[in-house]
Structures are given as structure tokens and as C-alpha cells.
Amino acid sequence: VYWHIRRSLAGWTERMQLYKWEWPGSSKKVRPQAKSGRARMGWRKACGKYLGVQTWPLRPHSWASKCNARRRHCPSALLIHEGHNDVNENCRWATAHITGVRRTDVAGVNAYLLLKHRMVLITLKALQQLLFELQQQQQQRLPRYATPDGRPAPPPVPVPGWADEWLEIKARERAAKFDRKRIRELAAKWVWSSEPKGLLKLPRVDPLKGFRVARFSSEEAPTPGSKYEELYADDEPLEEDEEDIEQVAAALEARDREEAELLTDEWPRATDWAGGSGSPAVISRGGNACS
């Protein structure tokens, strides 16, 4: 019984039949037809070849009858009373367990509740209170026109020439309906945006494309190494005397003078070569010295 219920819920019965595309097997042709001279044969599991394969199989279906929309409305009622004076405990207890009945006072009445329920029951006191509140609301309603005399204000007088430029542009566009050059110029000014949000068409040339907000200040620009002065500040600088500097300069001059004298002593002068008995030796390419 359990599997019978499960199969029925799933829509399966023992008398169910299958279409040919639902039947297990191959959909290949039985044999090739080209240049054979024989009749055409389709699928191998075509209708009539196997038991259960049907052209119009029997399927379980619902036997429910269609009902009009008007009959589908649930019976419901709205009970309107005024406080606790016109209803007693019996009425409240009798309608408390009925889902289609709703009880409310005059303060809770609105258009939604009146249209939702099919029947509306209202007591005499509740009706009098409801009419009184409607009259009070009409008296407290503000005037329709916010003018001193309560009449509609006259339409404003248009400023002469306020739409001349716009009219000229529209007239030019209407005149340039078949002007290819004008249409090309108008289309070249805009481009479709690729962003998922924002404007669909953007100007092709953005005047603020290269604009960057700069920071202007009245103070002088800092030097490149000024921010490291505090980190590498010399708290105890060396004391240099003028006498020490003069002594160092004199020692350097003496050293330079001695080096110059040594160079002049090592190399013979040109006058010695000219007045001497011999000339300076010249080394040939072969390595032999010749005078």
C-alpha cells in the first residue's frame, strides 16, 4: 500500500504508457534507406514494434472541474461597532473563533477592510459616529488653492525670448533631418557609456578630463632634505680653530712644492741634451738602443 500511494503521488500507474522518446533504447534507423529501393523505416523503438510504445499513450490526469473566480471568494463579514456600548460579551465570544469574521470599532475602519470583506455589518451608534467624523474631516480640510481669495492663481507671464535659443536648435534639427553632415556632427558629440550606472550618453570630449585639484599654500616649498633635518641633527658639532686650518693649508703647500722639485730632478732638461756630448737614447722597434 505504501508504494502504491507513493507511485500515485508521483503520477505513475501500472497502466501508464510511454512515448517513443521515453522508451529506453536507440533512436537509430533500422537500416539505411539511400539507394536501397525499399521503404523508409525510422527509429528502432518506433510505435507498434514493442509493447508499451504508443503514439498517444494514456496518462493520469486531474479530474478537477474548473470553478469561476466569483465562487472562489471565501465568505467573510466585517462587524463595526462603537466602543463597548453597542456590543456585549456574547457577540465578542461568538465571533472570536470564526476566521472569516472580523470585529472592529469606528477608529479602525479603513478602505482596505471595507473592500476585503464581502459583507459589512454596522451598528446604529457606529454609523452615527462614522458620519460625524466624516463631517469633521471635511470642515478641517485645507482650502484647495493657497491664495487669499481661495481662487486659482493666474498663470505666470512668460519672459520674452526665454526659449529662442531652444527653438532655433529645434528648427535647425528639423531642417537637418536629411543632412548627413549635420547628423554626423551631432552624433560625434556624444558617446554611449559603458558604466552599469549613471548616464547612458556622455559627451565625447570632457572639458574636465585633465583637471586636477591642486593644493595651494602661502608657505614656501620645503627643500628636498628638510624633513630629515630633525632625524640627523648634529647636537655636538666639532669646533674648528682658524690656526689649525692655516697649518693644514701650509703643510699641503709644502708637500706640493716637494713633489714638483722631485719631478724636475729626475727628468733631464732640454738644454743638457743640446749642449752635452751625447743625445738622449732612442729605443727602436727591435728593442736596441741607438744614439
| DSSP line for 64-122 | PPP--TGGGSPP-EEEEE-TTTS--HHHHHHSSS-TTEEEEEGGG--HHHHHHSSEEEE
Summarize the confidence of residues 228-255 as an average pLDDT. Answer: 74
Strand 190-192, strand 201-203: pairing: antiparallel
* Pair 165, 158: CB distance under 8 Å: no
Summarize the confidence of residues 180-207 as an average pLDDT. Answer: 83
Residue pLDDT, tens place only, 100-149: 899 999 989 999 999 888 899 999 999 999 999 988 887 777 777 888 88
For the chain, where are the alpha helices, taking DSSP H only?
2-9, 89-94, 111-116, 124-140, 164-175, 180-188, 242-266, 270-275
Cβ-in-10-Å burial (0-12, 13-18, 19+) of 80 comes to buried
User: Would you give the DSSP letter of residue 119?
Assistant: E
**Higher-confidence position of 169 and 18:** 169
**What are the residues facing 18 on neighbouring strands?**
53
How far apart CA 108 and CA 105 sit, in angstroms, is 6
pLDDT at residue number 150: 80
pTM (2 d.p.): 0.28
pLDDT at residue number 201: 86
pLDDT at residue number 14: 63
Per-residue buried b or exposed e for 227-240, using 16+ beta carbons within 10 Å of the residue's own CB: eeeeeeeeeeeeee
pLDDT at residue number 6: 64
Residue pLDDT, tens place only, 37-85: 998 888 888 887 776 677 777 766 666 777 766 655 567 899 999 887 7
Would you state the cell numbers that stand for residue 45, as one nine-digit string? 523503438
User: Would you give the DSSP letter of residue 75?
Assistant: P
- pLDDT tops 60 at residue 4: no
Summarize the confidence of residues 181-191 as an average pLDDT. Answer: 83
- pLDDT tops 70 at residue 10: no
Cβ-in-10-Å burial (0-12, 13-18, 19+) of 97 comes to exposed
